[in-house]
């Protein structure tokens, strides 16, 4: 490589060559002091007056040279930063991403805009709006090659005062003839005025969502009845505004498969083509004390022979609310296709048989009462249906009474279980801690067989385990005694000899136990869990703090 002769970018002065020349002259001038310095350093004698004069002059030259070098270094650093900026500009201009074929760019755009965007968002800087403003090439691709990136439209009350009708027509035109996914947010008069344009495209709706509509909106939507040929998914988050009665808008929709109804009341019901649905989620609450929800959901099951997923939301009571449970139906209703059930209503669970059931979620809302009877009813359902679960979620469900661990009875019946999630957010005490300790112990046990290698006794195929505990009572102190070395032993055993691949633990630290070692994990346990993570196990130990539920991964911050 040839020697560099760097010049200043502004004045062309040969910086490097000048520096090297000065440096050579300096060394020549200092040669006469070299022997004097060596002698004095070797003897530790103080210099005589002649030596002192020579050294003083030499030191001045060295200090001046160092100052000059500092100035040169500062200049070179400035030049370096300038050249780095120029290099970065070259990289950005010459980057292959700036010259991607339209087909690849279209795929990237489609993957980056899978969620809803605000059609009338501030400055039009969300989703496809933002992509179309980067450069002329991106704009051409976003508008001319990617109609699918414009289809997920959120039309909400924060409509900008500019011409909203023209903007909405522009978006529809950019979607071309493709399917539309429409979400209508909180409704105001401007949204109502735009509704007629949205309804003109109803035959292209693939999914339709409404958040808290008012009676005026629901009445207006009646105009699309019979014009929903391609509608596959419907989601209504209904208000509790009485007087809307029966909504028949969506009962003629030949492609409808998935329905979600949130907040439906007795005064407001939605008529649907139940016979063709495959997924139905309903969080209906009884309109008044004494009304059965079990009967309501059983009627839906009877009308929906193709259902694969069913969420029956309401069965609980809060302070001041009472609910009369519908008696168990005999003989029970047999549903041949249902694979996923979400319910904690004992009467409903005891009134059905589900031979194809695979996934069960029993989730009492935080703040409701923790009940034991749903787990007993689930045990009966599994026995009578002769089904084998692969996934079980228990949220705020009592795990058993003293001496009667109901969870063990259920797990004994589900050898095919691969996912188990236990969440206790309120209403638990010492018994719950004991049951969770028992759960860890039972999961660690192996069955000895002289003819076969040892096999875990219960749920031997478990791959995903989540345990989440938190006492919501302010100032309470809870010691999560089951989170100890035995728990880590169980995790390690199942990871090394069985199918376990993911473990997630969440323990909440409330005001009363902040700063207290409220679990039994010590340095050895954290070290072992870190080793398991390094070895490939997806293990997470979160400490949850504060009202917002900030979660800190202790395996990242813990020192061992």
User: Angle at CA 190, nearest 5°, toward 184 and 193?
Assistant: 85
CA distances (Å), origin 24, targets 15, 29, 30, 220, 550: 15, 9, 10, 91, 63
- 312: tokens are 């029956």
Q: Are 284 and 264 in contact (CB under 8 A)?
A: yes
DSSP H helical segments within 233-345, as ranges?
A: 294-303
Instruction: State the pLDDT at residue 218.
Output: 86
Instruction: State the pLDDT at residue 524.
Output: 87
- Provide DSSP, 25-68: HHHHHHHHHHHHHHHHHHHTPPPPHHHHHHHHHHHHHHHHHHHH
Count, residues in the chain = 560
Q: Are 313 and 283 in contact (CB under 8 A)?
A: yes
Domain ranges of the chain: 24-84, 418-447+454-559
Q: Are 501 and 463 in contact (CB under 8 A)?
A: yes
Phi, psi dihedrals of residue 357, rounded to the nearest 5°: -65, 130
SS3 551: strand
Residue stretches of the chain with pLDDT short of 70: 1-32, 157-161, 239-244, 264-268, 285-291, 314-326, 367-372, 400-405, 426-431, 449-450, 471-479, 509-518, 546-550, 557-560
Instruction: State the pLDDT at residue 234.
Output: 97
b or e along 350-366 (b: 16 or more beta carbons within 10 Å of the residue's beta carbon)? bbbbbeebbbbbbbbee
Residue 341: enclosing H or E segment and its boundaries? strand 340-342
Total Cβ atoms within 10 A of residue 234:
23
Q: CA–CA separation, 197 vs 176, rounded Å?
A: 15
Q: CA–CA separation, 401 vs 552, rounded Å?
A: 33
Instruction: State the pLDDT at residue 372.
Output: 57
Instruction: State the pLDDT at residue 183.
Output: 94
Q: Record the pTM.
A: 0.78
- Provide DSSP, 168-225: HHHHHHHHTTS-EEEEE-S--HHHHHHHHHHHHTGGGEEEEEEES--HHHHHHHGGGT
Instruction: State the pLDDT at residue 321.
Output: 45
Instruction: State the pLDDT at residue 455.
Output: 80
Instruction: State the pLDDT at residue 162.
Output: 74
CA 6 to centroid of chain Cα atoms:
53
């Amino acid at each position: 490589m040839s020697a560099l002769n760097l010049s200043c970018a502004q004045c062309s002065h040969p910086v490097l060559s000048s520096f090297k020349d000065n440096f050579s002259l300096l060394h020549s001038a200092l040669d006469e002091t070299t022997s004097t310095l060596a002698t004095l350093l070797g003897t530790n004698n103080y210099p005589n007056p002649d030596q002192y004069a020579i050294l003083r002059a030499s030191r001045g030259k060295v200090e001046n040279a160092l100052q000059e070098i500092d100035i040169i270094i500062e200049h070179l650093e400035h030049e370096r930063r300038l050249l780095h900026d120029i290099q970065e500009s070259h990289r950005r201009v010459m980057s292959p991403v700036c010259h991607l074929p339209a087909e690849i760019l279209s795929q990237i755009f489609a993957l980056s805009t899978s969620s809803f965007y605000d059609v009338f968002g501030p400055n039009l800087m969300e989703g496809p709006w933002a992509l179309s403003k980067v450069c002329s090439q991106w704009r051409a691709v976003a508008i001319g090659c990617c109609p699918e990136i414009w289809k997920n439209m959120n039309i909400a009350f924060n409509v900008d005062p500019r011409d909203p009708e023209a903007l909405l027509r522009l978006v529809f035109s950019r979607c071309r003839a493709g399917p539309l996914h429409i979400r209508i947010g909180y409704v105001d008069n401007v949204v109502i005025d735009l509704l007629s344009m949205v309804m003109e495209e109803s035959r292209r709706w693939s999914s339709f969502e409404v958040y808290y509509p008012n009676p005026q909106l629901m009445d207006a939507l009646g105009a699309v009845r019979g014009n929903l040929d391609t509608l596959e998914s419907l989601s209504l988050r209904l208000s509790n505004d009485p007087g809307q009665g029966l909504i028949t808008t969506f009962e003629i929709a030949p492609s409808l498969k998935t329905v979600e109804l949130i907040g439906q009341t007795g005064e407001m019901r939605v008529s649907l083509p139940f016979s063709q649905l495959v997924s139905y989620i309903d969080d209906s609450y009884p309109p008044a004390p004494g009304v059965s929800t079990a009967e309501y959901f059983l009627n839906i099951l009877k009308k929906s022979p193709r259902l694969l997923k069913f969420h029956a939301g309401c069965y609980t009571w809060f302070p001041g609310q009472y609910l009369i449970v519908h008696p168990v139906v005999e003989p029970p209703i047999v549903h041949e296709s249902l694979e996923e059930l979400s319910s904690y209503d004992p009467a409903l669970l005891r009134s059905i048989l589900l031979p194809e059931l695979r996934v069960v979620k029993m989730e009492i809302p935080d703040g409701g009462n923790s009940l034991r009877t749903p787990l007993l009813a689930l045990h009966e359902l599994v026995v009578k249906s002769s089904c084998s679960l692969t996934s079980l979620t228990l949220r705020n469900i009592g795990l058993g009474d003293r001496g009667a661990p109901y969870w063990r009875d259920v797990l004994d019946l589900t050898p095919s279980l691969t996912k188990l999630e236990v969440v206790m957010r309120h209403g638990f005490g010492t018994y719950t801690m004991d049951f969770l300790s028992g759960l860890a112990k039972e999961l660690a046990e192996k069955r000895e067989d002289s003819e076969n290698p040892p096999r875990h006794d219960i749920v031997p195929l478990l791959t995903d385990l989540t345990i989440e505990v938190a006492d919501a009572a302010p100032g309470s102190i809870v010691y999560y005694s089951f989170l100890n070395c035995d728990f880590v032993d169980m995790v390690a055993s199942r990871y090394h000899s069985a199918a376990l691949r993911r473990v997630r633990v969440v323990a909440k630290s409330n005001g009363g136990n902040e700063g207290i070692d409220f679990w039994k994990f010590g340095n050895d346990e954290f070290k072992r869990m870190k080793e398991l993570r390094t070895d490939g196990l997806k293990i997470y130990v979160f400490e949850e703090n504060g009202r917002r539920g900030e979660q800190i991964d202790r395996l990242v911050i813990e020192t061992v």
